[in-house]
Structure 1
Amino acid sequence: MEFRHRVIILCLCFLYLTAVDSDLASDRAALLALRAAVGGRSRLWNLTASPCSWFGVHCFQDRVVELRLPGGGLIGQLPIAIGNLTQLQTLSLRFNALSGQIPPDFANLNSLRNLYLQGNELSGQIPEFLFSLQNLIRLNLAKNNFSGPIPSNVNNLTRLSTLYLEENQLNGSIPDINLQLEQFNVSFNRLNGSIPKSLSGQPASAFNGNSLCGKPLLACNGTESGKKLSGAAITGIVIACVFVLLLILAILIFLCKRRKGKSSRSPNLVSTSGEQTAAQIPRSPSAVEIQDKSSGVTAPVSGDQKGKTGLVFFGTALGGFDLEELLRASAEVLGKGTFGTAYKATFEAGLVVVVKRLKDVPVAEKEFREKMEAVGAMRHENLVPLRAYYYSKDEKLLVFDYMPRGSFSALLHGNRGAGRTPLNWETRVTIALGAARAITYIHSQGPTISHGNIKSSNILLSDSYEARVSDYCVAQVVISPSTPNRVDGYRAPEVTDPRKVSQKADVYSFGVLLLELLTGKSPTHPQLNEDGVDLPRWVQSIVEQEWSAEVFDIELVRYQTVEDNMVKLLQLAINCAAQYPDKRPSMTEVSKQIEELCHAASQKD
């Protein structure tokens, strides 16, 4: 009897182990089908080992429960195979080059909790079978080419807390979603109609770039959502509007007559007629005081020439206008950065400059002026020169040359869809060399002098796409210790105070910039860290597997003749972004190596 029991137990164990092996074999076959179809980092898998040891694959009780290959160079259409991973709980294939439709066998992923497919080129309608996966908690399909309506059966996902569908081509209206969503975004699609009341508590940014109305955006038809006005109320509103318009017209006529006999005493940077992006730089009371009381109100300065109302100029290139004329120039907002808001100011004579209005300057006037004097004295062909500055108690302005081609960040990351002109290797490496030379020059001004805020949006471009480095050496006087750090993706790990950035920390930031140039990925994108990996560590993990080709931006893959130089620049970038400062090269060495790469490329040409 005891012998029989043992035989039965052994048989059951054998059947269990056979079933486990069979399930894992099925998972292995599904992964191999994926590898054959889209390649990328899946080619790193050691096929002689268990699939549970493969890169990006995680198992529990001998079943694949997670597959994470973000930014893994996967190219092509997903095969009908992933649906066989029936115990899969997390699937992350974001930021690849996957195309086509989501395979129908995804409907078999009943255990799936997290699906991250953003940043690909997937197309077609969002399949309704995704909303039959009852365990789904996070669904991210952003930045693809999905079209058609949002499926009406979205409410089937009772556990869903995150739904990201932004930057697709979805159309139609938003269905009445009655879910407790913590994160939601459908911005920059082709949606129309009113926003469901259930979503009215979401931020306005979640709906921008569509033809939508209702809370939190403007009310539909100019009325409160769900309320209708009576005929008498509408008549009253019309009469009130006419009265207000007449009153405004009378005031304008009065002001125009009054102004004819007086000079302009309160100029602003006024937008040109019909310019939608134009703006005004509000003027502080101290600026008014300086203009109206020209007898010695401004503090003494030591620039090359002092403007009539406190503007301090460096050199003679921009002489000939004063603060009042600057404030009168037509203005266009270029953007808001770490240090403040930048405006493009155009004078009637055609002169164009950039005015940066600083905010939260924590240092005293003397220190501010001393720093600006030092910055204004710097001259290099790859720097955006500081032409003038203005200081008062409530207003600090910096005046720079205008760079017509915008920033390297916009050139690299903007318009990644159809119609984009690929950014070639020669342009990228030339920009890198120009930026390196500028930072090398800054470091040559003294051992404690650093840029302090290196990032791709601070690399501006001339008409011929040559690099011009901006925002240099002002972090110490503009950033306060309590200022939130906005450049975490570029910040060296040893930097705790954004005002105290060493030259070696600059090298780290420049290394991240080079990685951005080579991979085409922005290190500050919030979704990059969804899997807990920053750009330097992501690149390092691939290089360690000797699969460097998967790192490069898809736009660079075509330049096979310079692949060796691309790998050399990649290694230089990794060295610059080393965790420990003493392991990083100097900017002089960095400039020399990039120059050698440019010379080698020209020799091949």
Structure 2
Amino acid sequence: MELLLFPRYFLLISSLLVLCSLPLSQSGDAEALLALKSSIDPSNSLPWPQGSDFCQWQGIRECIRGRVTKLVAEHFNLSGTLDEKSLNELDQLRVLSFKANSISGEIRNISGLTNLKSLFLNDNQFSGGFPSSITDLHRLKVIVLSGNQISGEIPSSLFKLQRLYILYLQDNRFTGQIPPLNQTSLRFFNVSTNKLSGEIPITAALIRFNSSSFSNNLNLCGKQLGNPCSSPNSQITVPPASSSSSSSKHSRRVQLIKIIAGTIGGFVLLLITLCLLWVACKNCRRRRKAGDFMSKEVGIEGNVAGGGGEGSGAAPNGRDGNNGLKQGGFSWEGEGLGSLVFLGAADQHMTYALEDLLKASAETLGRGTIGSTYKAVMQSGFIVTVKRLKDSKYPRLEEFRRQMDVLGLLRHPNLVPLRAYFQAKEERLLVYDYFPNGSLFSLIHGTRGSSGGKPLHWTSCLKIAEDLAAGLVYLHQTLGITHGNLKSSNVLLGSDFESCLTDYGLMSFRDPESVEETSVSSLFYRAPECRDPWKPFTQQSDAYSFGVLLLELLTGKTPFLDLVQEHGADIPRWVRSVREEEMESGDDPSSGNETAEEKLGALLNIAMACVSLAPESRPVMSEVLRMIRDARVEAQVSSNSSDHSPGRWSDTVQSLPREEHLGI
């Protein structure tokens, strides 16, 4: 009988112990906070009334089960020193920020903050060396110590922080060399305006950062600064001349060397000039023979090669000019030229003729599912984008004309307008406005020459999502048109960085029997029911593509290369698996700001509804647009100045400092 009663007694005692421990932990955190306040707040700027619920105190952003998890006391004019003993008692802190105060002294030991993920101590008056105890906080992802008076070397023990995402140490007094950090998670790094010296290590983590991350360190050199370090062996010392005779011999030798060098240099210069003239003449002859995009050659494989794609934006590498891509004039020889037909009401966009277009220089922007895209610069300086359809047999002339008349009527702030078309015997050309700000793909992932795109602020994600949804609703509801080829490279950025859809309504021109009809990138955006080339595109399949694009926006992952190579899954399956893992692990995925998490969570839920495998389960785009607008309204009401989260949802992108929203 006693054995049967023992488990009940044990359960009762355990429950009493848990209940008793709750007020004790609450009291412990309150006492620790008040002790901390007495050390950092001699002017009593923090309004923390003793005896009240400390979870409601200003600067306490979050409490979980009666313990403080987020302490953000910024711009309070705090001017004391850190009491490490009381601070270490707050061992459940995930986010700690004393940014923009006047706290001084050394940061000695904060090793008790074992759950800390984000540390913001920037813009204070901290001194002493780098706090070595920080490198023992294995969960730490964000370290921001910029704008202080910290000196000494940057410790190599930072290697231990394998989750490190942000390291900002600029505007301090650090000396010595930069340790060869190699964490693949490191995405933000700055050690500028210190007293560092030596060569910048060339590691996979550090090579991605440009000169702005290392500037204003007088004795620093390296590839990232464009200032190669001189080798000690290359230094040559010249002994002083022992007599006037040796000086004279040395002078004659120098003169002889100058004469020989000048002769060789002149010969080399002449040779280079002749080569350039030969190349120019050769290009001239080639351009006269056939200088257009009638050639079958194109520059790159659009989307998979790094963000060019099919859209009518800037070149994939973000620069105008040749850049290794084919360049020439538009010219057709033979009969049956046809005519250039303008669409919509006459306006300033139609101040050119077919002859102007034929004489324009052409630069290949990319090749995709529908055809090749070119930037055309006319002699007047006016720029348009020209798309040459891949399969000239599809559709027939009359069918093509009717479709163009329909698409030419569409005018919406979130659509790239179709301005004109040209058709001849074997040609179908479409003329669009040129968008120099490039594509959404480049905004998210960066251009070919860059190290990747920046995480977008969550307000930007909401704005982009609303723009795209509004454009799709207009297509669906105006004339019942489906896009059929929605992806980030087919979203271009307007003059105010508004998102505009291009390549809409063209999928009926594809040849379903063509082996090369579907590019790899397009396939991962398509709904499962439309991956068979014979299956028609529907408004439900557009909703699926919109969901994939939204997941790309929120995660920063390309739906094709990144996930297939790293995880062997497409983006919807990967996101589902990550969410399930987070729910099972119970790990706190918070980023330091509830507003950002709520809005990103709302967008994520919308995206996951759109990528439902069953077409009938997906919401219509008008309902999607309504949900996004509701989220934007709530965001504007609940937004505050202490937002630390960008708009990127991922298990590795957490607790970031506020990012600018790129003018959107």
Bin for the TM-score computed over the shorter chain: 0.5 to 0.7
Matched, 1:294 2:316: no
Aligned mate of 1:349, from 380, 392, 416 = 380
The corresponding residue for 2:540 is 504
Q: In 2, Cα distance between the equivalents of 1:571 and 1:160?
A: 31
What's the offset of the Cα at 1:196?
3.3
Aligned mate of 2:234, from 214, 228, 235 = 228
The two structures, once aligned, show a CA RMSD in angstroms of 7.0
CA deviations 1:23-43 (Å, max 9, x no partner) are: 845775469867634355x26
Aligned mate of 1:108, from 107, 110, 129 = 110
- Structure with greater contact order relative to length (CA < 8 Å, sep ≥ 6): 2
Aligned mate of 1:460, from 469, 476, 493 = 493
- Aligned-pair identity in percent equals 23
Q: In 1, Cα distance between the equivalents of 2:161 and 2:555?
A: 27
Q: In 1, Cα distance between the equivalents of 2:148 and 2:198?
A: 19
Aligned mate of 2:272, from 248, 253, 256 = 248
The corresponding residue for 1:327 is 361
Contact 1:384–1:468 under 8 Å retained in 2: yes
Contact 1:575–1:584 under 8 Å retained in 2: no
Structure of higher CA gyration radius: 2
Moved more, 123-132 or 260-269: 260-269
Q: What is the 5 A alignment of 1:135-534?
A: 135-137=136-138, 140-141=141-142, 152-157=153-158, 159-161=160-162, 163-165=164-166, 169-170=170-171, 175-177=177-179, 181-184=183-186, 190=192, 196=199, 198-200=201-203, 202=205, 204-210=207-213, 217=224, 220=227, 228=234, 243-252=267-276, 264=288, 277-280=319-322, 282=324, 291=331, 294-295=333-334, 305=338, 317=350, 319-321=353-355, 325-327=359-361, 346-354=377-385, 366=393, 377-378=406-407, 379-382=409-412, 383-387=415-419, 399-403=431-435, 435-444=468-477, 449-453=482-486, 458=491, 460-461=493-494, 468-472=500-504, 480=518, 482-483=520-521, 503-504=539-540, 506-507=542-543, 523-525=554-556
DSSP 3-state at the match of 2:384: strand
CA deviations 1:59-79 (Å, max 9, x no partner) are: xxxxxxxx6x7xxx9784699
Change (3 A) 1:320 1:149: farther
Structure 1: tracts of 5 or more residues without a match: 1-9, 52-56, 58-66, 270-275, 415-422, 517-521, 542-549, 555-565, 600-605
Count residues with an aligned counterpart. 485
The corresponding residue for 1:131 is 132
Q: What is the 5 A alignment of 1:25-64?
A: 25=26, 28-29=29-30, 36-40=57-61, 42=62, 45=64, 47=66, 51=67
CA deviations 1:513-569 (Å, max 9, x no partner) are: 8999xxxxx51346xx9xx989x979xx9xxxxxxxx76569xxxxxxxxxxx99x9
Change (3 A) 1:257 1:137: same
**Residue type of the partner of 2:227?**
C
CA deviations 1:275-318 (Å, max 9, x no partner) are: x9532165659x89x95x8236xxx99xxx557xxxx9878946
CA deviations 1:465-519 (Å, max 9, x no partner) are: 8764334356897984643989xxxx69979969997533543665798999xxx
**Residue type of the partner of 2:555?**
T
Contact 1:475–1:498 under 8 Å retained in 2: no
What's the offset of the Cα at 1:439?
0.9
Structure 2: tracts of 5 or more residues without a match: 1-9, 34-52, 77-81, 239-253, 294-317, 447-456, 511-515, 558-562, 564-573, 584-592, 634-664
TM-score, normalising length: structure 2: 0.49
Contact 1:386–1:398 under 8 Å retained in 2: yes
What's the offset of the Cα at 1:351?
1.7
Contact 1:97–1:121 under 8 Å retained in 2: yes
Contact 1:190–1:210 under 8 Å retained in 2: yes
